[in-house]
Structure 1
Amino acid sequence: MRSRLRSSLLWGLVGALAFLVLVQGYDLAIGRLPVDFPARLALAAVVGALAASAAYVTEHRLYRRA
């Protein structure tokens, strides 16, 4: 696996887990959300996919500038 792809997948995982942590924190601080657990996982998968694709697209641009 190419390092750029592996890096973007790891950033996607970080984005999905960060989203789940924020949702859990909101749930503990404010109260129950009207969204059930499978829907939260689906949203986390979407956030992770967006983070992974954004990292894959922009990583080479940031690497060139550094």
Structure 2
Amino acid sequence: MNPRLKSALLWGAVGFMAFLVLVQGYALIVEPLVTIVHGTILAVAVAIATTASAYALEHRIAAWSARRAVDETETHGDDGKSKS
């Protein structure tokens, strides 16, 4: 399996479970917002959206982060000590 796809699917699973945890927590504290069936359907929609956005954006965010790290290393690489 493609590592990018595997990562996106794992993020989708995290989104699915996180949404269900939030719905359950709200139901325990206040009152149920939705039924179990509706909550599961919404969690699947969240998982699909999370998977799609992770697949589309993860490589761009990683490239941006790598460029930023290189730029910070170049600008902060000198510790202020001169060798003269």
Question: How does the TM-score come out when normalised to structure 2?
Answer: 0.73
Q: Which residue of 1 aligns with 2:3?
A: 3
Task: Give the SS at the match of 2:31.
Answer: coil
For structure 2, the 5+ residue unaligned runs are 67-84
Please identify runs of 4+ aligned residues in structure 1 that moved more than 3 A: none
Which amino acid is 2:35 matched to? D
Q: Percent identity?
A: 48
Q: Is 2:28 aligned against 1:28?
A: yes
Is the CA contact (8 Å cut-off) linking 2:23 and 2:32 kept in structure 1?
no
Aligned residue-pair number:
65
For structure 1, the 5+ residue unaligned runs are none
The one-letter code sitting in structure 1 at the alignment partner of 2:9 is: L
Determine which structure has more spread, i.e. the larger CA radius of gyration: 2
Per-residue deviation, residues 4-58 of structure 1 (Å, max 9, x unmatched)? 000000000000100000000000011132x211111110000000001000000
Q: Which has the higher contact order (CA 8 A, sep 6+)?
A: 1
SS at match of 1:32: coil
Q: Which amino acid aligns with 2:14?
A: V
